[in-house]
Structure 1
């Protein structure tokens, strides 16, 4: 399984939200350049796979999952947007505290390649069909340059729900 980092994470109340991957961003991985094309995650989302949200790709540190509804994923024009309900566990409280302090490194995701899912041109790889297994909150250094982690605290009493900042993104019930 391969792992890549994303761009954005925010904390609002007991939720983390942001982007686990972005489209159209050239990223240097070892000795090649990689880019994720729009629609690359659509099959994984549409097929209803049980996708996990982990801390640092650690399968013993589950934060949320799609099967239980505590992790929600969607593609928009920017990338793979997520929202997760942070559990009241030691790892959940730690991740939330670090996000609020702006001390996390970013987001990442673990994947394999689906049928006809990649195209190589020299040392450039286009990802077209990604089988998504997990997204991860990364404590230190994500693989993609330019990733950021931001905390936004809004009082829960206001009933505000975290949503991704990109204007084209809307959660659907």
Structure 2
């Protein structure tokens, strides 16, 4: 990641952010309540969503005020041989940008992540590797983060201990209802995409 002050052509200045929100063809380890597996975002996964003009904000830690946006032209995304390249023109007078600049210059923040939906995926025959072949970035985000969240989940995947904690907090009747919904057991491909299960678990725990 890099921040650079530039002349905006009108006598003022802008802060140019550049970095990669995702690196393709680079395996990383994932874990959910079914166990550990490897995940890879394949080259070309961003082609369709970028061509469709996805509306994507640039934010910090996947939330807060939008600092740049593809819709306004202040954020530009492109997929190259490395991954999802991010270029954002930030307002140097914004206190949020000043805070981000300070954190980056101090080395306190130096990672990126992004939020998206998986629209196409493939699993290895033994279900130990998930290849994400296409994603949808529309109304997701690209984000500077304290610690890089896994790019396929943006915080949506729950580890087994999180699931156990929620299950233990449920009344017996609701726990039985949840377990009944898993019969017959879902395919590993469906189960590994835990955004759905996360929503169900949270709903059941209310």
Q: TM-score interval w.r.t. the shorter chain?
A: 0.7 to 0.9
Name the counterpart of 1:40: 45
Relative distance call for 1:128 and 1:84 in structure 2 (3 A) is: same
Tell me which residue corresponds to 2:2.
10
Q: Using the TM superposition, give the Cα deviation of residue 45 of structure 1 relative to its aligned residue in structure 2, in angstroms.
A: 0.8
Q: Distance in 2 between matches of 1:135 and 1:42?
A: 16
Per the alignment, residue 141 of structure 2 pairs with 134
Query: How large is the RMSD of aligned CA atoms in angstroms?
Result: 1.2
Note if 1:104 corresponds to 2:109: yes
Alignment partner, residue 82 of structure 1: 86
Counterpart contact for 1:86–1:96, Cα < 8 Å: no
8 Å Cα contact 1:51-1:67 kept in structure 2:
yes
Q: 1:118 aligns with which of 104, 118, 121?
A: 121
Deviation at 1:80, TM superposition (A): 0.6
- Give ranges in structure 1 of 5+ residues lacking alignment: 1-8, 145-173
Of structures 1 and 2, the one scoring higher in RCO (CA 8 A, sep 6+) is 1
Q: Name the count of aligned residue pairs.
A: 132
| Partner Cα distance (1:63, 1:35) in 2 | 29
* TM-score relative to the length of structure 2: 0.61
Deviation at 1:143, TM superposition (A): 3.1
Q: Secondary structure at the match of 1:40?
A: coil
Q: Which one has a bigger Cα radius of gyration?
A: 2
Matched, 1:27 2:33: no
Q: Give the secondary structure class of the aligned counterpart of 1:128.
A: strand
Q: After TM superposition, where is structure 1 displaced by more than 3 Å over at least 4 residues in a row?
A: none
User: Which range is displaced more, 48-57 or 92-101?
Assistant: 92-101
Aligned with 1:142: secondary structure? Answer: coil
8 Å CA contact 1:109, 1:134 repeated in 2: yes
Question: Structure 1 length normalisation: TM-score?
Answer: 0.72
More helix by share: 2
- SS of the residue corresponding to residue 129 of structure 1 reads strand
